[in-house]
Amino acid sequence: MPNYYPSDKQIQNLFAFLNDSKNYLTTSREITHFITQFGQSSDLITACFYAHQESYLDFRAEFPRILYVLSGQVTAWIDSDKQCELEAGHLIFANADTHIEYESHATDTKIVSIYIKREFINEKAHYFAQSNGQMENYVFANFGLLNSQNDPLILQIPTDSDADFSILFLSKFILARQRAMIFPIFLWMLTNLDNYLPQMSNGQSSQHILQLIDRELTSISLDSLAQELGYSPSYTSKMIRKNFHMTFQEIVMDKKIERAKWLLTHSTESINLVSENVGFADKSYFYKLFKQKVGMTPKQYRQATPLA
């Protein structure tokens, strides 16, 4: 994903927007109304609001979301049992099942909240399935097709960094409903955030591990991957889950389905042959998994998607 470089005028307009109090929601009632409207809208798959609100908010929503503290200090309770002290630069990625409550401790507390319906991620499933970025894999696992139930991801990034700017520009493009720009800016943000993730253990890069999986996708196993890396299968499994927020099996199955989708729309091979070519020995399992992840059978998918 190439970097996005905003112009000086865009930066000036962004900060003018952030400094205008009229652009902030200030009560729990306003926020609840905003979330309800977003849920009922069939046209919107992303939404954003800026909050400078009451001291306490019980944050319930049925969508994956990103919370970013612009200023001030906040105590957050995640799923009622995990307490976090947050300040400017703290960022939370939470899936739809996460319950968040927070309390502000400063009059200047401001928070950006970005809501994402699963369609936004699933429309780009082919891109995410082939991605080597850790944040992109996390988002695909937790916000997209797999709907993994991982703990929220909490990061702290420097203000005035590229990551900070990318979050703010993403929110602004979402508010302006400039849909053509939202996904590129979203990827720019994820690329920047990769720099603030914990490093992989023992010097292994996420890209190297994903490349190994892609290279041997049809036959790879956890044991063979562990042998290639020089670790035990147990350690390899834990390392993958910690760093990708997905299990080894989830990564492999998702990549196989995405490869099958490509073959269905770029070749005239029979569906049974496609199943074999992506590494499924059990054709009935392939059909079941494909429908579960894609929402239609392989035949229906091929019929609905013109041959490229």
What is the tens place of the pLDDT at every residue in 220-232? 999 999 888 878 8
Query: Could you write out the DSSP letters of every residue in the chain?
Result: -------HHHHHHHHHHHT-GGGEE-SHHHHHHHHHHHHH-SS-SEEEEEE---SEEEE--SS-EEEEEEESEEEEEETTTEEEEEETTEEEEE-TT--EEEEE-STT-EEEEEEE-HHHHHTTHHHHHT---HHHHHHHHHHSTT---PPPEEEE--TTSHHHHHHHHHHHHHHTT-HHHHHHHHHHHHHHHGGGSPPPGGG--HHHHHHHHHHTTTT--HHHHHHHHTS-HHHHHHHHHHHHSS-HHHHHHHHHHHHHHHHHHH----HHHHHHHTT-S-HHHHHHHHHHHHSS-HHHHHHHS---
| 134: nearest Cα among 190, 66, 203 | 190
The answer on pLDDT for 214 being more than 70 is yes
Question: Considering only 31-45, 55-69, 241-255, which range has the smallest mean pLDDT?
Answer: 55-69
Give residue 253's pLDDT band: very low, low, confident or very high (50, 70, 90): very high
List the structure tokens of 178: 């400039």
**pLDDT tens digits for range 90-140:** 999 888 878 888 888 878 888 899 999 888 887 887 777 667 677 887 787
Mean pLDDT along residues 284-302: 93
* pLDDT top residue among 19 and 131: 19
Q: What is the pLDDT of residue 232?
A: 82
Q: What is the pLDDT of residue 289?
A: 94
**Non-local CB neighbours of 79 within 8 Å, separated by 6+ positions:** 98, 99
List the structure tokens of 37: 């409207």
* pLDDT top residue among 271 and 14: 271
Question: Considering only 123-137, 200-214, 229-243, which range has the smallest mean pLDDT?
Answer: 200-214
Q: What is the pLDDT of residue 300?
A: 93
| 165: nearest Cα among 2, 12, 1 | 12
Write down the mean pLDDT value for the chain: 83
Q: What is the pLDDT of residue 249?
A: 92
Backbone angles phi, psi at 204, to 5 degrees: -75, 135
Question: Considering only 130-144, 179-193, 213-227, which range has the smallest mean pLDDT?
Answer: 130-144
In this structure, are residues 53 and 76 in contact, taking their beta carbons and an 8 Å threshold?
no
The answer on pLDDT for 57 being more than 90 is no
| 116: nearest Cα among 106, 134, 128, 133 | 128
Q: What is the pLDDT of residue 24?
A: 86
Q: What is the Cα–Cα distance from 77 to 101, expressed in whole angstroms?
A: 5
The answer on pLDDT for 266 being more than 90 is no
Q: What is the pLDDT of residue 279?
A: 93
Q: What is the Cα–Cα distance from 31 to 46, expressed in whole angstroms?
A: 15
**pLDDT tens digits for range 148-181:** 556 678 899 998 888 998 999 999 889 888 888 8
